[in-house]
Structure 1
Amino acid sequence: MKAIILARVSTEDQMQEGYSIPAQLQRAREYCQRKSLIIQSEYPFDESSTKDQRKKFDKIIEEVKKSKETIALVVETVDRLQRSFKESVMLEELRKTGNLEIHFIRENLVIHKDSNSSEIQRWDLGVFVAKSYVLQLSDNVKRSFEAKRRNGEITCNPPIGYINVYDNAGKRIDVIPDPDKAHFIQKMFELYATGNHSTLTIRQEMIKIGFRSKAGKKLALSMIDKILNDTFYYGIAYSRTKKISWNHKYKPLITRELFNRCQDIRKGWGKKPFQYASKPYIFRGLVRCGKCGCAMSPETAKGKFIYYSCTNARKSICDEKVYVPEKDFLKPIYEVLDAFESIPQKKIDEIVEALRKTNENKDLYHKEAIKSLQSEYNAIQARLSRLTDLLLDQSITKEDYDKKLKEMKEKQYEINIQVEDHTRADENYYITASNVLNLAKRAKELFISSEIPEKRAILNYLLQNCTANGKKLEFSLRSPFNHILEFANQPTWLRG
């Protein structure tokens, strides 16, 4: 009788326990010699039993079916051949027709056409034990993943911009920013946050400065979209299979504030922010309908006249189509720019001097704010320690512990963001006062001489909450430009 030998190993532990493929093949060959079986083929393979990689198993079945005589399938033990009753159906059919005999070496069991019920039950019991092992392995993996998430670790590979750090045994011990790619991710968010870029223009910029995918290819638009939506970059990991999020312990590449700003801009662009990229408009994505809150969409008439109208996405609130010429939107813009331009240089110098005099108060506020935030952080840390003690003493339930732990960790994360914002504000303070004031004075000159993308950047820098009420554009100035106009209109600044 001809024989097929199957040898399989799934884990490193099995390699150490004498289940290695060479060891299995050697015992199977010796078995065939003792039983006068002629070895027709051998199928050694290394694969996890929980993965759907059964190509070689299917090839064995096909080989048995094609044979005109009975084939003896020789394996070390039941769990080397199968891990569920699904395979039993195929094997049982071939056994009953006399095409197949199965020889389990360790169990000293041969299943053939005339096997009795006791032998069949021994086979089924072996399959049951193998299936139980797989289920137990699955439970262990789930518990391991849950423990990793509680510890702030990820259970998959990190996104582009990060790399894994491994120990000598090949086990991941940390995830760190990729020194070659992290700065590209930061640049991408910073560019998009200006409101002056679509995913298409972001892609063009990234290609221009040399950013490539992990495979070394130019980034696809879908990858740009995925990156701009990935919360991992500011500290929140997400499992698509489990649909859950958790705070990870690795270094963020951006702040949550920057991420949220990009999300707000994405909403302003609509579902396909790149669809108008070939034809830029000054107010595209910047103005919303004052009646329903939908975006004001631009279009060109007769090749040169630009109009804006509500998309009327909320027809129950706003169904009237009002076309507003772009020049009408520009009128109040030029009024503000004229106001900045008319500020005398003497007044700007007075404001700068006054800001210098408030520097001592600013320093005091900065230090007190940092100190207060740090005290709050330490207080939460102490509460976390007490919370753990309560859990160990069984004074609270695991459910209550997890809920409180999440609340306090999120609060600590928010504190860290505020500390980061204060620090950044302190670092930038000394270069902003004079520069901002002089920029405001030259804003009209810069606006008139700029191309549309630069005009949009200036408006993003100056304005916020732009809405169209009828044909009138309404907005407020961002800080500190709102204060500059207020201060400039006061008769005097310096006292004493």
Structure 2
Amino acid sequence: MRVAIYVRVSTEEQAEEGYSIKAQVDRLNAYASSQDWKVVHTYIDDGESAKDMKRTQLTVMLTDLKKDKFDCVLVYRLDRLTRSVLDLYKMLNLFEEHNVKFKSATEVYDTTTAMGRLFITLVAALAQWERENLGERVRMGMNQKAKEGKWTVSLPPYGYNKDKVDGDQLVINEEEASIVREIFNYYVTGQYGVGKIASLLNQQGIKTKAQHDWNSNTIRYVLTNPIYIGTIRYNFRVNKEQYFEIENAVPAIVEEASFQEVQKILSTRSKHHPRRATSRFIFTSVLKCARCGGNMAGKVSSGEARGGYTTFSYYCVNQKHGTCDLPLISQNYLEVQFLKTIKDWKYKNLLPNGLSKNNSSTTKDLEEKIKRIQKGLKDIDQRRSKWQYAWLNDLISDDDLKNRNEEEQQKENHLRNELESIQQDTSDDIKENMIATALTSLEENWNQLELHEKKKLVEMLVEEMKVDKLIKKRTPDSVGIKEISFN
């Protein structure tokens, strides 16, 4: 009988227990010889799990089976072939379909009878249960290990090494950490995208932790990984329903303020094409056509007719389809109108002393009102305790307690609504004043900024800006900003 030997080992523990590749092959060859069988092929899956059928040599063996290259599959134990009941069922059907026998050298199975097939299925079910049970215990152990702030993955992230004394802890690799800081510094300028940073690192011959070239995904992974501010995340890619983070688990490489600023830039750029995010056009990411609502794209013009200067303009993308007649908008004119709009917004929304018009009370008045409300809420809690004590001592009836509690609840709701309203107004005023402060700084320093710095500030402050061409003249007044909304 022509026999195909299949052997597999997945872990060092199995090898130590006598299931090494060599041990299995030697014993199976001896077994085949004792039965006077001819071994025509040996299929070896080294370091692969039996949790599924996606194994290199198993796939080859099943292909050869269909080509009638052997009459029997011989394994050392059933769990070498599979630990899945469903996979066993599929393979037994395939064996039967092609008239191929299945034999374990250390177990007695007869797949030609219903009882034999039941027995082998039960054994496979136990093997699957053992694997899944072990997997659950391992996952629980890994979860607990992660919650204690320990590193659970074999390869540490770029910028870190495993501690030589305690392999569960990470320490900073200063050489790699300097590259991580460089990546953040490049990106936070707004002048470099993830692709350009990857190219710069590759040009310098710098490799990833796995000694591969950098690409957009690996750069983005560094920029978004909170481990660089000391926070370990677990179950980020798999078992996302059990995702959690452990703060201050490892030493930080970058400042949290820098990390958060990068996240804001990434969030802004995710809404637009990456090329637009780093282009020389200041307003492309926020600009809309006031006539049709379409997006605005940038256009570069240069030549002797313009005195050798390069000019930047914007056009409505719907022009190409003939559904909009908006003429070109000059970036230089739009800058003038943008600064004018900022100045007008400040005067309309702020009082001379810098407080929002909506803020009719002084800070001291608001503090006193909040204190009064908080005292009222405390008094309600004290009265409730008294009513509860009186009820426990049969001094008031159940109905009395219910009525008094309803009265106190109405008073509490009124005070809490009043407090929420004050806090909301204060929050709105703070946000408005923060915008005003930022716009004041922008207005004063605009002309000293580089193009990419202007673009970055616009993206951070402005959500959307609708523009129109008012008159056919080459002056700033020919451009109008119809609407502007801030982030």
Query: Quick check: TM above 0.5?
Result: yes
1:5–1:74 Cα contact (<8 Å) kept: yes
Q: Kindly tell me: are residues 67 and 233 of structure 1, through their superposed partners in 2, closer, same or farther at Cα, counting changes over 3 Å?
A: same
1:165–1:172 Cα contact (<8 Å) kept: yes
Instruction: Give the letter for the 1:134 counterpart.
Output: R
Instruction: Give the letter for the 1:240 counterpart.
Output: R
2:77–2:105 Cα contact (<8 Å) kept: yes
Which residue number corresponds to residue 454 of structure 1? 450
Question: 1:205-224 residue pairs with structure 2 within 5 A?
Answer: 205-207=200-202, 210-214=205-209, 218-224=213-219
Q: Kindly tell me: are residues 148 and 204 of structure 1, through their superposed partners in 2, closer, same or farther at Cα, counting changes over 3 Å?
A: same
Which of 142, 150, 162 is 2:147 aligned to?
150
1:268–1:295 Cα contact (<8 Å) kept: no
Which of 104, 117, 123 is 1:126 aligned to?
123
Q: CA deviation at 1:217?
A: 5.5
2:280–2:451 Cα contact (<8 Å) kept: no
2:75–2:81 Cα contact (<8 Å) kept: yes
**Are 1:189 and 2:191 matched, yes or no?**
no
In the alignment, the residues of structure 1 paired with residue 210 and residue 238 of structure 2 have an alpha-carbon distance, to the nearest angstrom, of 24
Q: Match of 1:30, SS?
A: helix
**Are 1:165 and 2:162 matched, yes or no?**
yes
The Cα offsets for residues 317-337 of structure 1, whole Å up to 9 and x where unpaired, read as: xx99798644456559999xx
Q: Match of 1:271, SS?
A: coil
Which residue number corresponds to residue 476 of structure 2? none
Q: Kindly tell me: are residues 189 and 36 of structure 1, through their superposed partners in 2, closer, same or farther at Cα, counting changes over 3 Å?
A: same
Instruction: Give the letter for the 1:81 counterpart.
Output: L
Q: Kindly tell me: are residues 166 and 62 of structure 1, through their superposed partners in 2, closer, same or farther at Cα, counting changes over 3 Å?
A: farther
Which residue number corresponds to residue 16 of structure 2? 16
**Are 1:174 and 2:169 matched, yes or no?**
yes
Q: Kindly tell me: are residues 66 and 159 of structure 1, through their superposed partners in 2, closer, same or farther at Cα, counting changes over 3 Å?
A: same
Which residue number corresponds to residue 26 of structure 1? 26
The Cα offsets for residues 241-270 of structure 1, whole Å up to 9 and x where unpaired, read as: 223241251222223321221232334444
In the alignment, the residues of structure 1 paired with residue 250 and residue 22 of structure 2 have an alpha-carbon distance, to the nearest angstrom, of 42
Q: Match of 1:274, SS?
A: helix
1:148–1:155 Cα contact (<8 Å) kept: yes
The Cα offsets for residues 162-182 of structure 1, whole Å up to 9 and x where unpaired, read as: 3442769xx953333333322
Q: Kindly tell me: are residues 332 and 459 of structure 1, through their superposed partners in 2, closer, same or farther at Cα, counting changes over 3 Å?
A: farther
Q: CA deviation at 1:464?
A: 8.2
In the alignment, the residues of structure 1 paired with residue 147 and residue 16 of structure 2 have an alpha-carbon distance, to the nearest angstrom, of 32
Which residue number corresponds to residue 43 of structure 2? 43
In the alignment, the residues of structure 2 paired with residue 328 and residue 469 of structure 1 have an alpha-carbon distance, to the nearest angstrom, of 14
Which residue number corresponds to residue 82 of structure 2? 82
Aligned residues: 347
The Cα offsets for residues 263-292 of structure 1, whole Å up to 9 and x where unpaired, read as: 323344442232364x514x4479788x9x
Q: CA deviation at 1:455?
A: 5.4
Q: Match of 1:173, SS?
A: coil
The Cα offsets for residues 35-71 of structure 1, whole Å up to 9 and x where unpaired, read as: 2323333334332222554232233334444348x72
Instruction: Give the letter for the 2:116 counterpart.
Output: E
**Are 1:237 and 2:224 matched, yes or no?**
no
The Cα offsets for residues 353-401 of structure 1, whole Å up to 9 and x where unpaired, read as: xxxxxxxxxxxxxxxxxxxxxxxxxxxxxxxxxxxxxxxxxxxxxxxxx
Gaps of 5+ in 2: 303-309, 319-323, 341-441, 468-479
Which residue number corresponds to residue 245 of structure 2? 246
Q: Kindly tell me: are residues 297 and 153 of structure 1, through their superposed partners in 2, closer, same or farther at Cα, counting changes over 3 Å?
A: farther
1:79–1:127 Cα contact (<8 Å) kept: yes
In the alignment, the residues of structure 1 paired with residue 301 and residue 175 of structure 2 have an alpha-carbon distance, to the nearest angstrom, of 48
In the alignment, the residues of structure 1 paired with residue 285 and residue 186 of structure 2 have an alpha-carbon distance, to the nearest angstrom, of 16
TM-score by structure 1 length? 0.56
Instruction: Give the letter for the 1:198 counterpart.
Output: G
The Cα offsets for residues 70-115 of structure 1, whole Å up to 9 and x where unpaired, read as: 7233322222222223233333443476x333332322x2535xx3
Q: CA deviation at 1:151?
A: 1.8
2:8–2:21 Cα contact (<8 Å) kept: yes
TM-score by structure 2 length? 0.57
1:295–1:311 Cα contact (<8 Å) kept: yes
Q: Match of 1:39, SS?
A: strand
**Are 1:299 and 2:295 matched, yes or no?**
no
Q: Percent identity over the alignment?
A: 20
Q: Kindly tell me: are residues 128 and 462 of structure 1, through their superposed partners in 2, closer, same or farther at Cα, counting changes over 3 Å?
A: closer
Q: Kindly tell me: are residues 254 and 57 of structure 1, through their superposed partners in 2, closer, same or farther at Cα, counting changes over 3 Å?
A: same
In the alignment, the residues of structure 2 paired with residue 458 and residue 92 of structure 1 have an alpha-carbon distance, to the nearest angstrom, of 68
Which residue number corresponds to residue 54 of structure 1? 55
Which residue number corresponds to residue 345 of structure 2? none
Which residue number corresponds to residue 94 of structure 1? 95
In the alignment, the residues of structure 2 paired with residue 206 and residue 93 of structure 1 have an alpha-carbon distance, to the nearest angstrom, of 52
The Cα offsets for residues 326-349 of structure 1, whole Å up to 9 and x where unpaired, read as: 4456559999xxxxxxxxxxxxxx
Instruction: Give the letter for the 1:40 counterpart.
Output: V
1:6–1:81 Cα contact (<8 Å) kept: yes
Q: Kindly tell me: are residues 209 and 105 of structure 1, through their superposed partners in 2, closer, same or farther at Cα, counting changes over 3 Å?
A: closer
In the alignment, the residues of structure 2 paired with residue 110 and residue 465 of structure 1 have an alpha-carbon distance, to the nearest angstrom, of 73
